[in-house]
Chains A and B, each alone.
Chain A
Amino acid sequence: MGYIKINQEKITKEIAQELIDVCPFNAFDYIDSNLSVNSGCKICKICVKKGPVGTCELVEEKKEKIDKTKYKGIVVYIEQRNNIAHRVSWELIGKAKELALKTKEPVYAVVVGNNVSKIAEEALRFGVDKIYVYEDDIYEDFNVEIYTNVLSEFYDKHQVNIILFGGTAQGRSFAPRVAARLKTGLTADCTMLDITDEGDLLQIRPAFGGNIMAKINTPNHRPQLATIRYKMFNEPELITPNGEIVHEDSTNIKKETSIKLLETYEKPQVSDISDAEIIIALGRAFKKKKDLDLIEPLRKRLNAELACTRPLIENGWFDARKQIGLSGRTVKPKLIINLGISGAVQFIEGMKESELIISVNNDEHNKLFDISHYSIHGDIFEVLPKLNDLLDQIL
C-alpha cells in the first residue's frame, strides 16, 4: 500500500530525465520544471531502487488488517455443462489438496446445476472434504448473473479462504463477476500456485505481456480468487470417498436475468492436442504454407500431432485449437519437437511440462533453448531435408 513520493527539491532537468528513462511504464511527467507521477505507475519501485538516490521514495500507508484466521477452506468451483464436470475441476482439486496440506485447511467443492448428484459423488472420489450442491431447474444452463448470485451467497455463508476456477472460456467470464461482487482480487491464468503458512495464496503468472513471470498475492482481502488453465496440474488419485455432500437451499437466491440463451452450437471436434503423446510444434520460422510439407515425413514417421504458435493461427494455417500456450492449449506430451519457435512465455507455459523437449532454432539465444532437453542450433530449412533423407534410410 502506498504511493511514490518525489522529493521535488532534488529534481533538476537531468535528474527528471534519468527517472523518466528508468521507469518502464512511462509514469513520470516533467512539465514546467515539475516532475509528477501519473496513473501509469505500477509502484514497481524501480525509481526508488535504481533512480538517483533520494529522489523518490515509497510512502507506505497503514491499512487495517483483516483477521485471516476467520477464513478457512480452499474451494474448487466445479464447472459443469450438460451435467458433465470439466476435467480442469478435478485437476484443481488435486492442487487444492496439495495447498491444504500446508495450511491444514479443508478442501471443498461447489457445484451449481440441475441433476448434478453424479458430479457430487465424483468430487468425493477425487477427495474433497465437502461438496456443496446448489440445484434448481433454473441452474440447468450456465447464466453468469444467476450463478454469481449463487456463489456470493455461498461465500457469505461459508467465509472461505480461497476459490479456484478453471480458466475455461466460461470460468474466465464468471470468476471476474464473482471477484467484483465480493470486492476481492482475482489472478488470471496462474501457472503455479503456492501458499504461505498464513494462508496467503501465491499466484504465479506471466506478466506485462512479455517474457516475465510475476508472483502475485492478495495480502488483505478474502476470498482469494484465481483462474487456472486446463492441463496445468495433474488430476489427483481417486480415493474411497469419506467426504460429505451438502445440499444447499436456493430459495433466497435471486434468479432474475436479462440474458436469454437462445441456442448453442457445438463446434465440430478436432483431434485435441491436449491429449496428444507426440507433438511437432511449428513456429513463425515457417514463412509459406508450402514449407509445412517439409515436416510431413517426420510427422508420419512419429505419428505426431501438429501444433503451432499463435502467429500461425493468425495466418489462418491452423484451427485455433491447435495453438499451444496460455491463450491456446496446454500440452504434456511424451515428446515435443519445436521447430522455429522463439519461446515466448505464453508459449512455454503451455508446454514446459512435456517429458522430452527437442527444439530446433537458428538463433542460439532463443528462450526455448532454456527449457529444452535438447537444443539443436540450426536452420530448419537445412536440417529438415537432411533429416527426411535419413528417415528414408532407416526403415
Chain B
Amino acid sequence: MNIITCIKQVPASSKVEVDPETGVLIRDGNNVKMNPYDLYALETAYQVKSMSEECRIHSVTMGPPSAKSVLEEALYMGSDEATLISDRRFAGADVLATAYTLSQLIEHIHDYELIICGKQTTDGDTAQVGPEIAEFLSIPHVPYVKEIIDVKDKTILVRSAYDDYDELVEVAFPCLITVEKGLNVPRLPSYKRRIEKQDYKIKTVTMRNLKDKNPDNYGLNGSPTQVDEIFPPTKRTDSIKIEGSSDELSKSIVEILQESRFL
C-alpha cells in the first residue's frame, strides 16, 4: 500500500497586522512550523502503516524551496519518501490552483491508494484543499476523520465528525481523507530516523515535470479568486472605556447591567 501525505509549512505565529496608513501587511517574524493539523495526518499514515503490510509513506508539500524543512521533519518522524513541488510560476495560487498543482504532483507520483491531508491549515484556513485534490483526481474523499477503524485490502473504514453527528463510512481505495486534530498523538522526529535518513535526497518537482505544463493553470493565472484588498477589522466608534480601581470597575459593571435591565 502506498500513502501520500500532504503537508504544509505555515507561519509559527498568527500575529499579522495591517499598517493603517499604507495598508501594508506587517508580519511578526519569519518563524515557520508544520501546519499542526498535518502532524495528525502524518501520524495517521504511520498508524495505517502499522496496520497493513508493505506500506510506504510519501510526504509532499508545495511551497518555496525553504519548505523542504517540513519534509525533513516528516522524514525524521517516519515518512519513507518526500517530494517538494516548487516553481516560481506557482506564486499567488489560491485553493483551486494549489489543489490542482498538488493533484498533478500526485498523478506524477502515480502510485497511491490513500492520500491523507490535514483538516485545514492555520494560515489558509479553508479546509478546501483536500476535497479539491480528490475531485481533480476523480477519487472519493472523507473529511474530518476522527478515527481509523479498520484498513482492509481494498477499503478503509473511518469515523468522521460532522457538526451534530458522526458517520461511520467504508470507502474504497484510491481515496483521500482529511483528519481532525486529536485523533492520535503525533510522534516527534527521532534521532534514529535522522541518522537513517541522512543520505536521503528530497525530490524536487517543478512545473516542467508535470503532465500539464500550461502555465495558465498554475499560480496566480490559474487562480479564479483574487485578494482585492486587506484591511483591519472595523472598530466601534461609540465604545466607552472605563478605568479605575477594581471597586469602581465592578460598580460600573453592575450599573451597566442594571441600566440595560439585565439585573
Chain A interface, >50% SS class: mixed
**Does chain B have a CB within 8 A of A26?**
yes
Contact call A373/B168, Cβ cutoff below 8 A? no
**Does chain A have a CB within 8 A of B70?**
no
CA of A49 to CA of B225, assembled, Å? 22
Contact call B260/A262, Cβ cutoff below 8 A? no
**Does chain B have a CB within 8 A of A183?**
yes
- B229's nearest neighbour on chain A, judged by CB, is A215
CA of A384 to CA of B240, assembled, Å? 20
Distance in Å: Cβ of B24 to nearest Cβ of chain A = 5
Contact call A209/B91, Cβ cutoff below 8 A? no
**Does chain B have a CB within 8 A of A172?**
yes
Contact call B132/A177, Cβ cutoff below 8 A? yes
Instruction: Give which listed residue, B15, B89, B226, B257, contacts A219 with CB less than 8 A.
Output: B226
A-side contacts of B225, CB under 8 Å: 185-187, 203, 216-218
Contact call A207/B227, Cβ cutoff below 8 A? yes
Contact call B171/A260, Cβ cutoff below 8 A? yes
A-side contacts of B126, CB under 8 Å: 176, 186, 188-189
Instruction: Give which listed residue, B88, B125, B129, B232, contacts A39 with CB less than 8 A.
Output: B88
Distance in Å: Cβ of B240 to nearest Cβ of chain A = 5
CA of A262 to CA of B99, assembled, Å? 29
Instruction: Give which listed residue, A183, A302, A384, contacts B263 with CB less than 8 A.
Output: A302
CA of A27 to CA of B32, assembled, Å? 13
**Does chain B have a CB within 8 A of A276?**
no
Contact call B167/A209, Cβ cutoff below 8 A? no
A-side contacts of B162, CB under 8 Å: 168-170
A-side contacts of B123, CB under 8 Å: 208-209
Q: Which of B38-46, B108-116, B243-251 contacts A (4 or more CB under 8 A)?
A: B243-251
- B90's nearest neighbour on chain A, judged by CB, is A39
- B62's nearest neighbour on chain A, judged by CB, is A39
B-contacting residues, A139-155, CB 8 Å: 144-145, 148
Contact call A24/B26, Cβ cutoff below 8 A? yes
CA of A257 to CA of B140, assembled, Å? 8
A-side contacts of B100, CB under 8 Å: 180
Contact call B226/A210, Cβ cutoff below 8 A? no
**Does chain B have a CB within 8 A of A284?**
no
- B88's nearest neighbour on chain A, judged by CB, is A37
- Residues of chain B at interface, number, CB under 8 A: 103
Contact call A181/B232, Cβ cutoff below 8 A? no
Contact call B14/A210, Cβ cutoff below 8 A? yes
Contact call A210/B17, Cβ cutoff below 8 A? yes
Instruction: Give which listed residue, A38, A202, A211, contacts B91 with CB less than 8 A.
Output: A38
Residues 185-211 of A, flagged 1 when their CB comes within 8 A of B and 0 if not, give: 111110000000000001100111111
**Does chain A have a CB within 8 A of B76?**
no
Distance in Å: Cβ of B5 to nearest Cβ of chain A = 19
A-side contacts of B166, CB under 8 Å: 264-265, 267
Contact call B161/A27, Cβ cutoff below 8 A? no
CA of A379 to CA of B169, assembled, Å? 49
Contact call B128/A175, Cβ cutoff below 8 A? yes
Contact call B91/A169, Cβ cutoff below 8 A? no
CA of A386 to CA of B157, assembled, Å? 55
B30, B62, B238 pick with most chain A CB within 10 angstroms: B30
B-side contacts of A257, CB under 8 Å: 140
A-side contacts of B30, CB under 8 Å: 26
- B18's nearest neighbour on chain A, judged by CB, is A212
A-side contacts of B262, CB under 8 Å: 278, 302, 334-335
CA of A25 to CA of B87, assembled, Å? 15
Distance in Å: Cβ of B8 to nearest Cβ of chain A = 11
Q: Which of A70-78, A128-136, A387-395 contacts B (4 or more CB under 8 A)?
A: A387-395
**Does chain A have a CB within 8 A of B200?**
no
A-side contacts of B93, CB under 8 Å: 39
Contact call A211/B131, Cβ cutoff below 8 A? no
A-side contacts of B227, CB under 8 Å: 42, 44, 207, 214-216
Contact call B239/A371, Cβ cutoff below 8 A? yes
**Does chain A have a CB within 8 A of B191?**
no
Distance in Å: Cβ of B189 to nearest Cβ of chain A = 22
- B231's nearest neighbour on chain A, judged by CB, is A213
Contact call B63/A39, Cβ cutoff below 8 A? yes
Chain B residues within CB distance 8 Å of chain A: 10-11, 14-18, 22, 24-27, 30, 32, 62-66, 86-96, 99-100, 121-132, 134-136, 140-144, 157, 161-172, 175, 219-221, 223-236, 238-244, 246-247, 249-254, 256-257, 260, 262-263
Can you give 21 A-B contacts (C-beta < 8 A)?
A: A38-B64, A42-B92, A170-B163, A172-B143, A176-B95, A176-B132, A180-B131, A185-B225, A208-B14, A211-B232, A214-B230, A217-B228, A257-B140, A302-B257, A302-B262, A358-B253, A367-B233, A372-B239, A377-B243, A383-B253, A386-B246
- List 20 other contacts, CB 8 Å, given A209-B121, A210-B14: A1-B221, A38-B91, A39-B93, A40-B63, A169-B163, A176-B131, A185-B96, A188-B127, A188-B128, A208-B25, A209-B14, A213-B230, A259-B169, A261-B169, A267-B165, A302-B263, A360-B253, A371-B234, A379-B246, A386-B250
